[in-house]
Structures are given as structure tokens and as C-alpha cells.
């Protein structure tokens, strides 16, 4: 599947995956690729401290959108912002003429009680805000760095859960609107990210089925992150060249890991009939804008 | 300076903390296994183990009581996978005046929601379980794998948060205003109630009020219990093991965890860094890259390039680890190399142990 075409197909792209699989890096690469396709792109960070802005060599994101990569000839701008449940709640209350009590609601802990009475309320407020951004035409594409896998299911299920729990009122309307967004493939898709390892692949398959069956979202391609690029000549015997043992051991390690990665990729394909995008493992402990560009180019 | 050996030999409680995806569950299991191998009765409390590891630990499904893992060691190894809801139910049963009160609570929709979904419930119940296992006297060491949280160390704050919640300030404000401030409270409370009603709708609010009504009289028991859990978590004898991986973002997060622990006067007892790329020999990245460049076109091109990539990676990870190790000083730092295979059975757990001990 062509990434540019995919990124043009729906305005909201939600990126989800288990902790440690490189979800934020993939979010950045997708955003960059979207911008390269000429789309104005807004990245929304939901959990804070994800390190997303550092990948673009920029200071931490705030509630107000800031530029991560400026627009250039034929390339759209990449902007980024945060969106926390507290932000979303404040806005919601203000929009409903309750600005004066909103501070007290949060400070008194009453909000905890509220959130508990109808679980998912925080998530629905955040998703409601995403929907509002989508409707307000703030960017051509919104790329959402979603909570880690287990949370992602709860997060995306919140709309359906709330429709049952809350039968009337603005939250009900909000939940219905959000569900409409999530289940419309022309407006929203979910990109799942995994590593080519057994446990992350298992979790990804479970998450994928849960999201399709229980939420009804449309799933985009699966991103398999961190595949060791192929190197020719790893079977050569270094004989008594300097550091021969190290050369041999490093080659054996890479062959073993590569073989396992291929097995996991095949297993994923067998268990989940979705197109896969493969991203290379970068032998760098610090990733920056150049690496984001490299990964963006490797998508698809 | 303590060492990991001392921790598993002498401590009674070890809490593994860190962000998601860094191998916390595996590390917790390895520490418990090592204690059993050293003759102690150890139990590991896991939150959400990967399926094959769960199978290895005999945790086919949620079981709120420890199951024993048989093996060739002098001590005992037990494991349990935390069932948040059952733990909460047991707590209600233990604190309720009678069966009728407990039933009333179990039947309440609001309770069904909080027992599964209240932020911090899982963290709190992990602490509760820890307390129960510690007090039972059946174990010399309890190792806890903390839930992956969005916010660092929710685990530590959970008891306080839960009691704050169960103190039902809101309920009091709405239903039982004190005499002196009757009018003021009523006016304020009705504004709050109106706001809440606007947000969640009337049904949910009523469920909540019903719950607090049914809960009447149980607060003190909960508060006492939470205070004991809190005391255990903050006991200097409780060891916090910080688990991390050497990537830039997880190191930043681990540094933040270390700071938070320090602020709570809970020093990091040890740092375990998982998934450290092997260096293969002693050479550094730049020299290896130079050699690889020179070997382009020769039969050694692939081999030298591969070695250069691993050594470059090792250099970068080393830089991150130096900062983090400095931050947790004088805690010992143990490194577990990224293995050529996945970890999911007792043999691979033992392999990891061989790098830690």
C-alpha cells in the first residue's frame, strides 16, 4: 500500500502499540511522510514525555501547536501539540458554560469521582477533542500517538462503553460522535506497531482483533519496526584476521536474530491478514531528524 | 554498596519499577527464581505477563492465589497474576459489617466500574496483595512487578489516592453538609452536582451516590489498611529495583523515576538494564567503522560492517547508561545483554540470571 495514498485516505491516523516497540518513532516517520506528500500534518501527543519533539530536534510540545518541521516546496508543515484529559475536560466544561466550576471540579477531586462513575470519560473527552480538531480542519492529517497497547483498547473502547453507561446528555452525544468517527474508514484508521519478536507479535494480533471486533475501527497497515537490514557476506570465514572472534560472534548473532525476525514476520502475516510495512533497525542509540527522514522514506 | 545478590538473599520485599516494554516482568521473575535457587521461599506477583512467560510460571489464567513452580532448587518459587477485581472484592468482604452490606456494594454499578477501572485501582491492589503475602509469613521474599503506568510511580501514590477517593468528600458535600456551613455547602454542592450531571448524566451520578451510601461505615477500615500498605511501600527495608533499557527515551523516563523515588526518600536499590546490545570484543565504534570502510569491496565487507554497526550501537547505549548509572549512584547497575533469542521459559530466565548474579 502506498503510504502517501494511505495518509490521504483518512484524516485521523491513530498509532498504537505495546510499550517499547517504537510507537513514537513510527508516529514521527508517518508525520514526515505525510508532509512529504504535501499534507499539512498535526501530530498529537497524548501521554506526554514521549520524546516525539526530540526526534525532530525541537523542544517539548505544549497545548498550543508548535512547528516541528517547517513547510518547504511541495512539502507540508509538521506541527505538534499535546492533548491531555485535563486539557480536554477544561475545554469541554468551558464550551458548556461551566468555566467557573471547572477548576473546583478538578481541584476537589470530584473529577475522579465523575471519571469513575462513567469510566472512559477522560478518554472520550480526549477523543471528542480529536474529533473537534478533525472537523475544524486544522490540518490535512492528524497523527495521534495513542496510549500503549493495553490502554489503547480501553481508550478506543471508551465510546462504546459510554454509550451504554450514559443514555442521555452531552456525553452521550459526544460518545456517539466519537464512535461515528472511529468506525468510519474514510475518516479514521488505526496503525498498529510491533517489533519482530514473539511477545509483541502476539500482543499485536490480540489488539488487532479486539479493535476490529469490539470497536469496529478500520486497521491500516501494520508497521513492523526494528528489522535488521540484510548484510551480504556474513557467512565468510574471517580466518585469522584481527578481531576474528568478534567478527564471527557478531555475524552469528545477527544471523540468529534475523532468522527469528523473519519467522515472526511470517507468523504475523499468517495470523493477521493486513499489509505490513517494514522499518529497519537503526544502529544508533540517539535518533534525530535525519533518522526520521530515513524511516519515512522506508515506509511502504 | 548493596548488590543484587544481597537484595535477593536478605530483603523481604523487592518492587520492580520502570516504563512498559523494558522487561520488568521478566526481571521480577528472574529475581524470584534466583532467591529460590538460594534457598528462600519466594513469590513473584505479576500484573500482565506475556502468555508464554505466564505459561512457564504456571499462570494459565488469572489466579489470585500463588501457584508453585516446581524445579531443581532448594527454596520455593511461587507466582501469581494479580486479579484486581477479586482483590478488591476480598477487601470489601473483609471490611463490611455483614454480608448484606458487601452484597449491596457488589451489586452497585458504580462499584463494578471502580473495581475494574478506577485509575490507580490496579496499583493499589498490587500493594494490597503485597501486604497480604508479606504478612502471611509463607514467604521470605515477595517480588512485585508494578503495572505499566502512564505516570511514574502511581504505585506509590495509590493508597493515598484511593483513601482520598473513598473519603467521599463529594458525597459529604452533596448529602451531608455540616450545620455551620449548611447554606454555603449546599449552594456550592449543587453547582458541582449540576456540573457533574451535565457531564455524565443523572444515572451515573445516582449510582455513585448509592455506592457511597452503601459504603458508609467502612472508610476507617480502608484507611487503616491503606496506611499499612503505604508504610510497607515506604519502609526502608523495601528495595526498589529500577528496570530500564538503554534507549534514549526509556533512559529519560528511568531518570525521572529515579528522581521521583529519591523525592519520596526511597533510593533505587539497583538498576537493571535489559536489552543492552553486545559489543563483541573490546573495540569502539569509530575504529570499527574505519576498518569497515577500508574493507568495502573485500570479502570482509559484510563482516566488518556488521561489527561496526554493533559497536556503534554499544557506544551510544554506553553513553546513555553512564548518565543513568551516575543518577542512581551508589546503586549497583546490572546489564542484561540483548539475547540472540526471546525469553519465555525457565532456561532463558536462568540465562538472564547468569548475567545478573
pLDDT in tens, B224-273: 888 898 899 888 889 999 999 998 878 888 888 888 888 888 889 999 99
Query: For position A114, what pLDDT does the model report?
Result: 63
Segments in chain A forming alpha helices (H): 3-9, 23-36, 52-55, 85-95, 99-107, 110-117, 121-135, 149-165, 169-182, 198-210, 244-271, 289-298
Instruction: Choose the mutation target among A28, A113, A158, A201 for the interface with B, i.e. most B CBs under 10 Å.
Output: A113
Please give, rounded to a whole number of angstroms, the shortest distance from the CA of A273 to a CA of chain B.
22
Tell me the chain A residues in contact with residue B299 when contact means C-beta distances shorter than 8 Å.
233, 236
Residue B20 pLDDT greater than 60, yes or no? yes
pTM: 0.88
Please give, rounded to a whole number of angstroms, the shortest distance from the CA of B312 to a CA of chain A.
7
**DSSP three-state, residue A273:** coil
Mean pLDDT on B155-171: 69
Q: Which one has a higher pLDDT value, A100 or B223? A: B223
Mean pLDDT on B200-208: 68
Residue B177 pLDDT greater than 90, yes or no? no
Average pLDDT, chain B: 83
Question: What parts of chain A have a pLDDT lower than 70?
Answer: 48-49, 104-119, 149-151, 165-166
**DSSP three-state, residue A153:** helix
Query: For position B138, what pLDDT does the model report?
Result: 96
Query: For position B185, what pLDDT does the model report?
Result: 46
Identity of the residue in B196, B248, B256 whose CB atom sits nearest the CB atom of A114: B196
Please give, rounded to a whole number of angstroms, the shortest distance from the CA of A99 to a CA of chain B.
10
Query: For position B199, what pLDDT does the model report?
Result: 64
Tell me the chain B residues in contact with residue A246 when contact means C-beta distances shorter than 8 Å.
280-281, 283, 307
Q: How sure is the predictor about B180, in pLDDT bands with cuts at 50, 70 and 90? A: very low
Residue B40 pLDDT greater than 90, yes or no? yes
Distances (CA, A) of B157 to A195, A235, B86, B150: 32, 54, 21, 13
Please give, rounded to a whole number of angstroms, the shortest distance from the CA of A230 to a CA of chain B.
10
Tell me the chain A residues in contact with residue B113 when contact means C-beta distances shorter than 8 Å.
116-119, 165
Query: For position A179, what pLDDT does the model report?
Result: 93
User: Does A176 touch chain B if contact means CB atoms closer than 8 Å?
Assistant: no
Tell me the chain B residues in contact with residue A90 when contact means C-beta distances shorter than 8 Å.
none
Helices A149-165 and B109-117, axial angle in degrees (round to 10):
170
Tell me the chain B residues in contact with residue A126 when contact means C-beta distances shorter than 8 Å.
none
Select, from the ranges A142-156, B146-160, B181-195, B296-310, the one with the highest average predicted confidence (pLDDT).
Answer: B296-310
**B150: closest chain A residue by CA:** A47
| Closest to B332 in 3D by CA, of B276, B257, B256, B271 | B271
Residue B174 pLDDT greater than 70, yes or no? no
For residue B254 the three cell numbers come to 528511568
CB contact under 8 A, B192 and A54: no
DSSP assignment letter at A73: T
Q: Which one has a higher pLDDT value, A191 or B221? A: A191
Please give, rounded to a whole number of angstroms, the shortest distance from the CA of B278 to a CA of chain A.
8
Residue B120 pLDDT greater than 80, yes or no? no
Query: For position B297, what pLDDT does the model report?
Result: 96
Q: Which residues neighbour B76 within 8 Å (Cβ) at sequence distance 6 or greater?
A: B36, B40, B41, B42, B68
User: Does A234 touch chain B if contact means CB atoms closer than 8 Å?
Assistant: yes
d(CA B309, CA B279): 9
Identity of the residue in B150, B250, B278 whose CB atom sits nearest the CB atom of A147: B150
Tell me the chain B residues in contact with residue A51 when contact means C-beta distances shorter than 8 Å.
248-249, 252
Percent of chain B surpassing pLDDT 70: 82
User: Does A148 touch chain B if contact means CB atoms closer than 8 Å?
Assistant: yes
Amino acid at each position: 500500500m502506498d503510504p502517501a495514498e494511505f495518509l490521504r485516505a483518512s484524516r485521523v491516523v491513530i498509532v498504537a502499540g505495546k510499550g517499547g516497540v517504537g510507537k513514537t518513532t513510527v508516529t514521527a516517520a508517518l508525520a514526515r511522510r505525510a508532509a512529504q506528500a504535501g499534507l499539512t500534518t498535526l501530530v498529537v501527543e497524548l501521554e506526554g514525555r514521549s520524546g516525539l519533539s526530540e526526534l525532530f530536534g525541537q523542544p517539548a510540545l505544549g497545548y498550543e501547536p508548535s512547528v516541528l518541521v517547517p513547510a518547504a516546496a511541495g512539502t507540508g508543515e509538521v506541527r505538534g501539540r499535546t492533548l491531555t484529559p485535563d486539557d480536554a475536560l477544561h475545554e469541554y466544561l468551558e464550551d458548556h458554560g461551566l468555566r467557573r466550576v471547572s477548576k473546583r471540579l478538578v481541584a476537589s477531586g470530584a473529577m475522579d469521582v465523575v471519571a469513575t462513575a462513567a469510566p472512559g470519560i477522560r478518554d472520550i473527552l480526549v477523543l471528542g477533542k480529536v474529533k473537534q480538531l478533525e472537523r475544524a480542519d486544522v490540518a490535512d492529517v492528524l497523527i495521534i500517538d495513542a496510549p500503549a497497547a493495553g490502554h489503547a483498547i480501553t481508550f478506543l473502547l471508551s465510546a462504546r462503553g459510554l454509550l451504554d453507561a450514559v443514555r442521555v446528555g452531552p456525553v452521550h452525544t459526544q460518545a456517539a460522535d466519537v464512535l461515528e468517527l472511529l468506525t468510519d474508514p474514510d475518516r479514521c484508521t488505526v496503525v498498529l506497531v510491533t517489533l519482530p519478536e514473539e511477545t509483541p507479535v502476539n500482543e499485536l494480533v490480540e489488539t488487532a482483533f479486539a479493535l476490529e471486533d469490539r470497536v469496529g475501527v478500520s486497521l491500516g497497515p501494520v508497521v513492523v519496526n526494528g528489522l535488521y537490514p540484510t548484510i551480504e557476506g556474513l557467512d565468510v570465514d574471517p580466518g585469522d584476521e584481527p578481531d576474528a572472534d568478534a567478527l564471527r560472534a557478531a555475524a552469528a548473532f545477527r544471523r540468529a536474530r534475523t532468522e527469528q525476525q523473519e519467522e515472526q514476520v511470517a507468523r504475523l502475516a499468517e495470523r493477521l491478514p493486513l499489509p505490513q510495512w517494514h522499518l529497519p533497525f537503526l544502529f544508533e542509540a540517539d535518533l534525530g531528524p535525519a533518522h526520521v527522514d530515513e524511516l519515512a522514506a522506508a515506509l511502504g | 554498596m548493596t548488590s543484587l545478590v544481597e537484595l535477593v538473599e536478605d530483603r523481604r520485599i523487592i518492587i520492580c519499577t520502570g516504563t512498559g516494554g523494558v522487561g520488568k516482568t521478566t526481571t521480577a521473575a528472574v529475581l524470584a527464581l534466583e532467591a529460590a535457587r538460594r534457598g528462600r521461599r519466594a513469590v513473584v506477583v505479576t500484573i500482565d505477563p506475556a502468555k508464554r512467560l505466564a505459561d512457564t510460571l504456571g499462570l494459565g489464567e488469572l489466579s489470585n492465589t500463588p501457584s508453585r513452580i516446581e524445579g531443581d532448587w532448594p527454596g520455593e518459587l511461587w507466582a501469581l497474576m494479580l486479579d484486581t477485581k477479586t482483590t478488591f472484592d476480598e477487601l470489601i468482604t473483609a471490611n463490611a459489617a455483614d454480608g448484606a452490606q458487601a452484597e449491596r456494594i457488589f451489586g452497585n454499578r458504580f462499584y463494578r466500574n471502580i473495581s475494574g477501572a478506577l485509575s490507580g485501582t490496579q496499583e493499589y491492589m498490587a500493594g494490597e496483595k503485597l501486604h497480604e503475602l508479606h504478612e502471611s509469613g509463607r514467604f521470605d521474599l515477595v517480588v512485585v512487578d508494578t503495572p505499566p503506568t502512564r505516570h511514574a510511580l502511581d504505585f506509590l501514590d495509590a493508597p493515598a489516592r484511593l483513601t482520598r477517593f473513598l473519603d467521599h468528600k463529594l458525597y459529604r458535600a452533596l448529602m451531608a453538609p455540616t450545620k455551620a456551613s449548611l447554606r454555603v455547602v449546599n449552594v456550592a454542592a449543587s453547582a458541582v452536582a449540576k456540573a457533574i450531571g451535565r457531564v455524565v448524566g443523572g444515572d451515573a451520578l445516582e449510582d455513585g451516590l448509592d455506592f457511597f451510601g452503601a459504603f458508609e461505615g467502612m472508610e476507617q477500615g480502608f484507611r487503616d489498611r491503606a496506611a499499612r500498605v503505604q508504610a510497607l511501600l515506604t519502609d526502608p527495608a523495601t528495595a526498589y529495583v529500577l528496570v530500564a533499557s538503554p534507549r534514549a527515551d526509556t533512559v529519560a523516563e528511568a531518570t525521572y523515576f529515579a528522581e521521583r523515588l529519591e523525592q519520596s526518600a526511597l533510593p533505587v536499590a539497583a538498576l537493571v538494564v535489559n536489552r543492552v546490545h553486545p559489543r563483541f570484543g573490546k573495540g569502539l565504534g569509530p575504529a570499527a567503522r574505519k576498518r569497515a570502510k577500508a574493507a568495502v569491496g573485500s570479502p570482509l565487507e559484510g563482516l566488518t560492517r556488521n561489527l561496526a554497526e554493533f559497536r556503534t550501537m554499544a557506544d551510544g547505549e554506553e553513553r546513555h547508561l553512564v548518565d543513568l548509572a551516575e543518577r542512581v549512584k551508589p546503586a549497583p547497575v546490572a546489564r542484561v545483554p540483548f539475547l540472540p533469542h526471546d525469553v519465555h521459559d525457565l532456561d532463558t530466565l536462568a540465562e538472564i540470571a547468569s548475567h545478573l548474579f
